[in-house]
């Protein structure tokens, strides 16, 4: 009996410990094109934002209870008055947001490089509407906000090859002090992404250096005064994968970080990085990763003990509270959710969810447009190996009308598969654009009005398929992934799997019955 009671007691202690803590997680914590993460905490709720560039709505907003499992609850910028994107090219729009919470109100500061520059929006409820922009008359990018213990709010941003500080009114955007350069970094190119934290009487200034490619990293300095002088940490960079130990890691380009103290007192860092495939190429853009931080009293923060991290993280975490998994199929039985994005400011009337289908009214604009918004809605590629599928039909089609799916990096680089109406009838078409050049077109006659389209992704190839009945698929084309990678076409975007329609006559439309992503 004593042995039985002892066993029960040991089991109960184990269950209690497991309930108080969890162990291990997988990186990235937010997959697919989600760069420049910034995070804040309110009680045991965590909120995270990422960059959105030319896409609308702007600034994806995520919520978590454990820093590991995240659910997208919407966007910060949901109105054209907040986010004008007219003429925003593929690398334009929103750069590097920062989210903070102060005195019961949420603040988000960011840069619209295709608009008027830096601005602040705020709200009492992050799931609701955010204010119109309060413009901040400061040059540069990557702005951040820091509230000191005396209640003063400080603007900190990247500009003129260094980090600039000034006092700001966060509710009006008014600059309240003369801007001052406080740190140039450790010598790496593009010192940017600054965040200030106060701990143990020290002001810590965290920045990124080295650009957004393989040489990216995170450095830190500290001072007894918010405006410096700042002394760099002796072991900088505190995070980078640009070193011998991690040269073969699938995760590269780690940087642009934000540090958060969890409600149990532990410290964590979120940052961007990218997963390479097909050699030294990456296509999904920069994603959001998580690493534990040890930050002792009066000491420098140490990231994961080694200044790097892995896809599989075998470390203690907060008690994990996962959300319901995303359904593989979108039946279009309600309005499009927060996971969908448009290129620039869309015309809402061109997208109608009705009777279990998505109806898309095309215009003369195609996917090569760099100023207007084509009829397109995109879903972030989240996995190197995936299958995406839809069923569509052309309605009221005239010669030149077409609709289909696309693997879209930017206006000059995308692979498309579509159903096209031509004088000779209907055709299944696969098209390859790379770096603005039309490389090839494959056409096959198609007698039906409805067609099933499928795109599969692998480390080295995208494959394009079509079917009459949704069962027997024929491969129409195969293209190398590398020709859409950032290393080939440049920039720092990520792949969107898009549904699109084009109607030069302005009379035809496409009807999509569902969208699968596995």
Q: Which residues are catalytic?
A: 36, 192
- What per-residue string of b and e applies to 427-443 under the rule 16 or more CB within 10 Å gives b? bbbbbbbbeeeeeeeee
Residue 266 CB neighbour total at 10 angstroms: 17
Select from 215, 217, 226, 292 the least CA-distant residue to 257: 217
Which long-range contacts does 368-371 make (Cβ < 8 Å, 24+ apart)?
Answer: 368/411, 368/412, 368/433, 368/436, 369/343, 369/411, 370/87, 370/89, 370/90, 370/411, 371/86, 371/87, 371/89, 371/344
**C-alpha separations of 35 from 95, 133, 198, 254, 507 in Å:** 9, 22, 25, 10, 38
SS3 assignment, position 190: coil
Dist CA 454 CA 410 (whole Å)? 20
How far is CA 325 from its chain centroid?
A: 19
DSSP label at 33?
A: S
Count CA within 13 A, CB hemisphere, residue 233. Answer: 22
Question: Do the Cβ atoms of 107 and 101 come closer than 8 Å?
Answer: yes
Sign of the CA dihedral with 342 first, then 81, 58, and 410 last: positive
Select from 28, 16, 20 the least CA-distant residue to 272: 28
């Amino acid at each position: 009996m004593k042995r039985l009671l002892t066993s029960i007691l040991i089991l109960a202690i184990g269950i209690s410990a497991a309930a108080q803590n969890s162990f291990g997680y997988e990186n990235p914590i937010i997959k697919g094109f989600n760069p420049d993460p910034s995070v804040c905490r309110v009680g045991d709720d965590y909120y995270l934002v990422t960059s959105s560039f030319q896409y609308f709505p702007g600034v994806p907003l995520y919520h978590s209870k454990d820093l590991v499992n995240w659910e997208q609850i919407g966007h910060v910028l949901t109105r054209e008055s907040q986010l004008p994107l007219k003429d925003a090219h593929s690398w334009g729009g929103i750069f590097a947001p920062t989210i903070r919470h102060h005195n019961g109100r949420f603040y988000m500061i960011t840069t619209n490089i295709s608009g008027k520059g830096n601005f602040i929006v705020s709200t009492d409820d992050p799931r609701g509407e955010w204010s119109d922009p309060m413009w901040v008359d400061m040059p540069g990018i990557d702005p951040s906000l820091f509230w000191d213990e005396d209640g003063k709010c400080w603007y900190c941003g990247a500009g003129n090859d260094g980090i600039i500080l000034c006092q700001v009114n966060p509710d009006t955007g008014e600059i309240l002090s003369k801007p001052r350069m406080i740190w140039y970094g450790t010598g790496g190119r593009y010192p940017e992404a600054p965040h200030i934290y106060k701990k143990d009487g020290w002001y810590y200034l965290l920045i990124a250096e080295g650009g957004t490619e393989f040489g990216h990293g995170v450095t830190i300095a500290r001072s007894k005064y918010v405006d410096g002088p700042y002394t760099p940490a002796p072991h900088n960079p505190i995070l980078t994968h640009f070193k011998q130990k991690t040269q073969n890691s699938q995760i590269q380009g780690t940087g642009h970080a934000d540090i958060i103290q969890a409600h149990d007192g532990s410290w964590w860092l979120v940052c961007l990085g990218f997963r390479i495939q097909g050699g030294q190429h990456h296509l999904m853009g920069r994603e959001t990763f998580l690493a534990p931080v040890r930050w002792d009293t009066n000491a420098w923060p140490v990231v994961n003990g080694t200044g790097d991290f892995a896809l599989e993280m075998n470390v203690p975490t907060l008690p994990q509270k996962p959300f319901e998994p995303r359904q593989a199929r979108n039946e279009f039985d309600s309005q499009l959710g927060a996971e969908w994005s448009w290129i620039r400011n869309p015309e809402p009337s061109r997208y109608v969810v009705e009777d279990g289908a998505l109806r898309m009214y095309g215009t003369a604009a195609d996917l090569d447009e760099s100023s207007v918004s084509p009829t397109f809605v995109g879903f972030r590629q989240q996995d190197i190996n995936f299958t995406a599928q839809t069923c569509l039909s052309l309605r009221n089609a005239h010669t030149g009308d077409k609709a289909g799916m696309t693997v879209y990096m930017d206006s000059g680089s995308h692979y498309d598969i579509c159903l096209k109406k031509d004088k000779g009838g209907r055709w299944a078409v696969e098209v390859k654009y790379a770096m603005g050049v039309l490389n090839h077109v494959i056409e096959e006659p198609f007698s039906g009005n409805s067609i099933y389209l499928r795109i599969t992704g692998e480390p080295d190839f995208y494959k394009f398929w079509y079917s009459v009945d949704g069962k027997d698929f024929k491969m129409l084309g195969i293209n190398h992934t590398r020709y859409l990678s950032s290393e080939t076409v440049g920039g720092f975007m990520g792949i969107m799997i898009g549904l699109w329609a084009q109607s030069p006559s302005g009379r035809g439309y496409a009807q999509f019955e569902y969208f699968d992503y596995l």
